[in-house]
Structure 1
Amino acid sequence: MSNDVHRPWGAWLLLGLAAYFFLHVLIRATGSPTLELDEAEKMVVTQWWAAGYSGQPPLYAWIQAVVFRLLGADLWSLALVKNGLLFLTYMFVYLSARRLQGDMRLAVLATLSLLLIPQVVWESQRDLSHSVMVTCMAAASVYVMLRWLDRPTLGHYLLVGVVFGLGVLSKYNYLVFAAAAGLTLLTLPRGRALLLDVRILISAAAALAVTGPHLHWVLSSQDMASSGLEKMDFGQGIWPLSGLGEMTLAVLAFLTPLWLVMWMTFRGDFSRVFLRWQSPAGQFSLQRYLLAVLALLVILVLLGAAHFKDRWMLPMLWVFPLYVFAMMGSSALTPGRVRGYIATCVVMPALVLLVMAWRVNDWAVLEDRQRHVHPFDALAEALADRGFERGIIVSDGTFVAGNLRMHFPDSQVLSPSVAPGRLRCEAGGDVLVAWEVSQEAVLGQRLGAWVEHHLGPSASDMQRDIQVISLESWSGERFDFAVVLWPGALDGACRVGRPVS
């Protein structure tokens, strides 16, 4: 009877989330044209199709490339992809919670709890892409897995393999989520029976078919593909204390302020969640899953990982509110508690919308050195005044390169920080090398070697022709850009030879 009364809650939840993410699309697409780091990277890597681009898997780039080709390479397309994935994440969380919890209110509150996780509600909007993708795929994986546990048909075995394969293509920390889910299933009679069924080979074949091209790229591009592992600082610090400390801080940072709000709202019911052992009678034990995640993280520490970031916990720990509400049950949901918790959850996205609007508009309240104040429009005007029209733009990183593509859409933008694409060389095209400088305008060794290998001119030629363009942003900050420009220098072989004077 209770579920029938509260059935409209689910529809209102999804409708409200759709409106919320539409407002984010509107704010970002009509705000500053300066791209964030991940946005700029997508402007670079979506120019060509490849099995891999950098230290991150390619799924987000593939999806963004499709949308760019359908709607155009602009802010609208960037905002639509990100917010579409975020909406799908919340939807899959809700669908999974509804299967795991008998009370509609528990499912809705568990889903709204994501709004109290900073990495989900704020950082995912500010400047994340692969982490957004992997969280969406982890949420989709749990939902698909629950359907498979309920009805282990041949189609569900195939779907599980495809979805888990796509998860690997979203971000490599998905492997920790997948391993924890697998270990949890092995502890349950139902899970063991389905994993040991011969049909699991269909799942494995589907996953291998999805990930095969990228795995081949990883093996042939190990230097670039392994750059993500370097962020964990294997072998650094005092083993294993530094790693355990960083891991603990990352977990606490990820779950704060969520656990504080839960504790203040539900008090003793929340505290008792961690004193009970969950019965394994259900489809999937969230408690055993979370313990498996912690065990795997500790193993990473013991293997030498010394650095962890809270955003890396996204695909693993988003299930925490589902676990808490499943353990508390309907008895903890008094009307006053429900109203207070929902009100707190709703306040957070309202604040995020306001701050996001501040960030992407010229509002003096946030006059700090953030990326949106970079004067790329003024830089584009200065380059046009110097004769640059179209051609090849190269920068040391994707931030400058991607932002310049916004202003020169007919040009190809490239960077040594991502795998090289197919150079499109047109006779009469210009060559522009540009990067941001903080002090002396010196050509970086990696950038110089890349340009010399792919385009022809030597580092000494480029160093000789460097010009510095000093610009001031709307907030009064000074930005210096070093540029080397050779108008009309391209020929069909992409070897410009000596620069044109």
Structure 2
Amino acid sequence: MDKARNVDMRWFFAVLAAYFLIQVAVRVAMPPTLGLDEAEQAFRSQWLAAGYGPQPPFYNWLQYAAFSISGVSLLSLAVVKNALLFTSYVIYGLTARMILKNSVLAVVATLGLLTLPQVAFEMQRDLTHTVAVFFAGCVFLYGFIRSLKKPDVLSYLVTGIGIGIGLLSKYNFALLPASALLAALLDPQMRKRVFDWRMALTAITALVIALPHLFWLKDNLGFATARTLKKLTDGGNASYVVQVAMGSGLLVLAVIGFCAVTLLVFAFAFGKPFLSAVSGRSQWTQLLERIMLFSILGILLLVIFGGAAHIKDRWLVPLFFIFPLYLCLKIEASNVAVSNPLRRLVPVVAIIMIAVPTILFGRIAAATLNGDYERLNVPYAQLAAALRQQGEPAAILAEGSLLAGNLRKDFVPATVISTDYPGFKPTVSISKERPLLVVWQLSTAQGNALPAKAAEWLRSVPELGSIAPEVSTIEVPYYYARNSDSYRFGYAWVAPAD
């Protein structure tokens, strides 16, 4: 590769910081409605637990801490997510700088993250636990590479921290350290680092971090895995052979979907020499190749023996986020002569940086033209404002976590209970002065009766079981409504009888 001028990584990180600050500003400028994952964070921040359900609790703990400091707000949600993403990019950049001789390629590798749709777009749209596992993957990769390159106690400690956080973020993260371990064992020099006594420090650190949740998981395995396993293995009435074929095919499509844009952008940035880089090989390219291959093999085994028929590309985030770094390592190892790739890459990345927040905001604002409403167009905050004019509830019973989380944000300090989460059973004091507010969403074909799960919940409360609440409805205009379109909610105020 031609000797391109070095890039000061600090300036690069400053640009990234500005980008994520813009993402925070755009999210706050959007309607104050919470998405599905955001609402889950707001709802579950009412209590601190070692486990909450299908997803491990790291992001919940992080958001709980942030809410404890700043209060429940959309700004807090946006800051936590983007701070975590910015930190992940910085760690990834430092890892790239550690093993790439050319700092320009280190910048290219890090910018390559913005060419991964699952990282650049989906994480901003409405993901939380995937953001956490991406962060954990970056921490692990930094510690792991450092342990192999210049091993010391700190590098093994960081590796353990990455594993611990990863296991607390998403269960499929376990494939990454397992694949990395197998990949390192196949290299004679790296194998020495695996059998280093300091690996015990890595294992102990990871175990200590994950231990509270592992104890919880031991007693709640079915609760934690049932929904995920159902989604993974739901192949309808398909035979075993069809299910395996379906799972294998979707795995191939997921890998292509994850990597295709990055390949196209890099091919444009590097030009014809990019094809020659395929032959580039080094100790590091072989390591990352093996990690990705072992990861694919692990998912394939899940398809064959676990019946997994539905593989989504975003599930590859903790396994294939190393792809841009891998490509840059291949380019450097090939020694092909290329001009400064940043000259072509920066305009493409700039377009992505502009397009992502524009699309995120635009698809919500476009409803005023096309009447196609997204979750963020639903006017939960306006609903809350209208209901607060009628009274202040001691507690709210909401139908579903999406509604519960949004009402939690706008009804602090009232306790919010969700009919789809029976694990949260707070003690609330309900009176005529501070009654219970039951709220649910109404579809156009749905009647105005109290939902079955809400009625069942009321019957379980002795002082409320015999009460037949008066049901009311309210229509609230969508955010960016077309022709005054509105969303219907049902609600009922319930208080103990005299």
TM-score by length of 1: 0.89
In structure 2, the residue matched to 1:357 is: 361
The aligned length equals 484
User: What is the rounded CA distance, in whole Å, between the counterparts of 2:380 and 2:264 in structure 1?
Assistant: 42
User: What is the rounded CA distance, in whole Å, between the counterparts of 1:334 and 1:283 in structure 2?
Assistant: 19
CA gap of 1:444–1:52, structure 2 versus 1, over 3 A, is farther
- Alpha-carbon distance, 1:174 to partner: 0.9
User: What is the rounded CA distance, in whole Å, between the counterparts of 2:378 and 2:191 in structure 1?
Assistant: 55
- Per-residue CA deviation, residues 59-85 of structure 1 (Å, 9 max, x unaligned), is 111111111111221111111000001
In structure 2, the residue matched to 1:287 is: 289
Residue 322 (structure 1) aligned with residue 321 (structure 2): no
- Alpha-carbon distance, 1:205 to partner: 2.1
Equivalent residues in 2 for 1:88-487, closer than 5 Å: 88-226=87-225, 227-233=227-233, 237=238, 238-274=242-278, 276=279, 278-280=281-283, 282=284, 285-303=287-305, 304-329=307-332, 331-332=335-336, 334-335=338-339, 337-359=341-363, 364=368, 367-385=371-389, 387-418=390-421, 420-421=423-424, 423-426=426-429, 428=431, 429-438=434-443, 439-441=445-447, 445-453=452-460, 457-458=464-465, 465-473=470-478, 474-475=480-481, 476-486=484-494
DSSP 3-state at the match of 1:232: helix
User: What is the rounded CA distance, in whole Å, between the counterparts of 1:424 and 1:359 in structure 2?
Assistant: 41
User: What is the rounded CA distance, in whole Å, between the counterparts of 2:370 and 2:440 in structure 1?
Assistant: 25
- Alpha-carbon distance, 1:27 to partner: 1.7
- For residue 481 of structure 1, what is the amino acid of its counterpart? F
Q: CA RMSD in A?
A: 2.7
With 310-319 and 264-273 compared, the bigger mean Cα shift is at 264-273
- Alpha-carbon distance, 1:150 to partner: 2.9
- For residue 415 of structure 2, what is the amino acid of its counterpart? Q
- Alpha-carbon distance, 1:361 to partner: 5.6
- Alpha-carbon distance, 1:224 to partner: 2.3
With 97-106 and 141-150 compared, the bigger mean Cα shift is at 141-150
Unaligned 5+ runs, structure 2:
none
- For residue 436 of structure 1, what is the amino acid of its counterpart? Q
Identity %, equivalent residues: 33
DSSP 3-state at the match of 2:248: helix
With 226-235 and 400-409 compared, the bigger mean Cα shift is at 226-235
- Alpha-carbon distance, 1:215 to partner: 1.3
User: What is the rounded CA distance, in whole Å, between the counterparts of 1:184 and 1:456 in structure 2?
Assistant: 62
CA gap of 1:388–1:500, structure 2 versus 1, over 3 A, is farther
CA gap of 1:259–1:417, structure 2 versus 1, over 3 A, is farther
In structure 2, the residue matched to 1:33 is: 32
With 441-450 and 131-140 compared, the bigger mean Cα shift is at 441-450
CA gap of 1:390–1:445, structure 2 versus 1, over 3 A, is closer
With 166-175 and 369-378 compared, the bigger mean Cα shift is at 369-378
* Contact 1:117-1:254 at 8 Å conserved across structures: yes
With 322-331 and 59-68 compared, the bigger mean Cα shift is at 322-331
- For residue 311 of structure 1, what is the amino acid of its counterpart? R
- Alpha-carbon distance, 1:3 to partner: 7.7
* Contact 2:268-2:344 at 8 Å conserved across structures: no
* Contact 1:54-1:417 at 8 Å conserved across structures: no
TM-score by length of 2: 0.89
User: What is the rounded CA distance, in whole Å, between the counterparts of 2:435 and 2:28 in structure 1?
Assistant: 30
- Alpha-carbon distance, 1:87 to partner: 0.4
User: What is the rounded CA distance, in whole Å, between the counterparts of 2:396 and 2:337 in structure 1?
Assistant: 58
* Contact 2:285-2:329 at 8 Å conserved across structures: no
* Contact 1:45-1:418 at 8 Å conserved across structures: no
User: What is the rounded CA distance, in whole Å, between the counterparts of 1:71 and 1:366 in structure 2?
Assistant: 37
With 179-188 and 350-359 compared, the bigger mean Cα shift is at 350-359
- For residue 472 of structure 1, what is the amino acid of its counterpart? P
User: What is the rounded CA distance, in whole Å, between the counterparts of 1:419 and 1:184 in structure 2?
Assistant: 43
Unaligned 5+ runs, structure 1:
490-498
- For residue 176 of structure 1, what is the amino acid of its counterpart? L
- For residue 228 of structure 1, what is the amino acid of its counterpart? T
In structure 2, the residue matched to 1:494 is: none
User: What is the rounded CA distance, in whole Å, between the counterparts of 2:461 and 2:346 in structure 1?
Assistant: 56
* Contact 1:180-1:293 at 8 Å conserved across structures: yes
